[in-house]
Chain A
Amino acid sequence: MGRREIHLRLNGGDRRVEVDDQTLLIELVRSLGLVGTKLSCDTQVCGACTMLLDSRPVSSCTTLAIEADGKPVETIEGLADGAKLHPLQEAFIERFAFQCGYCTPGMIVSAKALLEAHPQPDVAKVRHWMEGNICRCTGYQTIVDAVLDAADKMRSAR
């Protein structure tokens, strides 16, 4: 209570960290130097701060760090395998699915959860799942295309 030690399983790592009860997940993760995840609206509307907690997408701006105790947390930093980018990251580059890039980490992390739940989504599925991730640059079409491309690639790689 108040302050406690949690078992943090961040991007495959495994460590113990001390946090205050009111510490938000995004505050903890960014304080550890993983600043890929962005804070934007701070009200669960924009999706920039999306992380996967126990495989579910959550707004890390409104999730307490203690919720992550013992559960796997994935952020954008966890996707690439060394220098090899994740198919979603490659597809976002190939499709020019970003300009300023601020929403991109949240977009890609959210899309990863989508493809885990639905490996072969259609356009409507992608749009519905991603509607809570806001992008003010692209107009979304290239993002939807990138997610569908990545789904194809991941399927044929399987």
Chain B
Amino acid sequence: MLRRFDVHKVTSVAEALDLRQRFGADAAIYAGGTELLLAMKMGVARWPNLIDVKPIASLADISATRDTLRIGATATHWDIERNTEVRRVLPALAQLEANVANVRVRAAGTLAGNLAFGEPHADPPSLLVALGARVLLEGKVGSRSLPVAEFITGMYETALAADEIILAIEIPLPARDVRVAYVKFQILERPSVGVAAVATVRDGRFVGSPGVVVGAVDEMPRRVSTSQFAGADAHDVGTREAIAEAAGAAVEPTADLAGDVEYKRHLVGVFAQRALASLVATAA
């Protein structure tokens, strides 16, 4: 049962922005509703107006150029996981998406909604941060683009302004020899820990330092400082253990039903090692 509200279906971004301005704090953007309607059912959120952006045709596009993958704001996890372009240019993202939530939430929920809700127990943010993805925003005064790392500002908090909407997520495509891995551990509905790793391995060594980002355990994704591992032997177990330890030190885990702080920090280490191992295994 939901309390009374009005849904406003808009067919253009301009119309959405008009309503955003007109209703202010009395309206929320509504996409798949998988978070929004739950929060409203539980009574933790109450909006008299929902602005349904799904009818805006231009927001559904998923397209890739030579160096960028662009995912429109109303593309669902289901759309992304099946999209042939995504599978071709960024298979790690397609795989991540295929393992978000369950099939029903994937069928309705969008990637933009996932980011905008700022729920810490999420999969895409860590991989998107590791890849340097950006969120494209449109507001009354103009457009801007923010790195995902700056868009998510805390637990259920983002930099989205009250008059803005997300248009798309833009992901710079990794160069040919860059390997990308995302691994997660989950006992409940949402991930307990997720680790994204992005690196180039040549002749058994990291070219530059590997990118490692830990998600889901902390209030927001945390980038692990890995500069000391630039050029390190990627196959060396000692290197991987040291990176795993750095990963554990980079997070301040939140204790919850999925485990206490110490346990989660342990998981971070284990899954950082697995992410690196799978990345090295696929490297030439």
Contact = CB atoms under 8 A, between A and B. Distances in A.
6 contacts: A21-B6, A24-B2, A27-B1, A47-B102, A59-B105, A110-B104
Contacts of A66: 7
A66 B2 CA distance: 14
B159 interface: no
A63 B38 CA distance: 10
A2 B101 contact: no
A58 B105 CA distance: 7
B102 A131 contact: yes
Interface residues of B, number: 23
B107 A62 contact: no
B189 interface: yes
Interface string A47-61: 100100000111100
B8 A1 contact: yes
Contacts of B8: 1
Contacts of B189: 45
Nearest to B40: A22
Contacts of A113: 103
Contacts of A47: 102, 104
Interface of A: 1-2, 20-22, 24, 27, 42-45, 47, 50, 56-59, 62-64, 66, 110, 113, 129, 131-133
A64 B102 contact: no
Contacts of A131: 102
Given A1-B8, A113-B103, 17 more contacts: A1-B6, A21-B7, A21-B50, A22-B2, A22-B5, A44-B105, A56-B108, A57-B104, A59-B108, A62-B41, A63-B108, A64-B7, A66-B7, A110-B103, A110-B104, A132-B103, A132-B104
Contacts of B103: 57, 110, 113, 129, 132
Given A22-B3, A132-B104, A44 B78 contact: no
A45 B41 CA distance: 14
Nearest to A117: B82
B37 interface: yes
A113 to B, nearest CB: 8
A22 to B, nearest CB: 4
Contact of B4 (A20, A62, A132, A133): A20
Contacts of B101: 44, 132
B41 A42 contact: yes
Contact of A62 (B6, B38, B50, B102): B38
B81 to A, nearest CB: 11
Interface in B10-44: 33-34, 37-38, 41
A20 B2 CA distance: 10
Nearest to A131: B102
Contacts of B5: 21-22
Shortest Cβ-Cβ A-B pairs, 8 listed: A132-B102, A22-B2, A56-B107, A21-B7, A1-B6, A59-B104, A62-B37, A57-B104
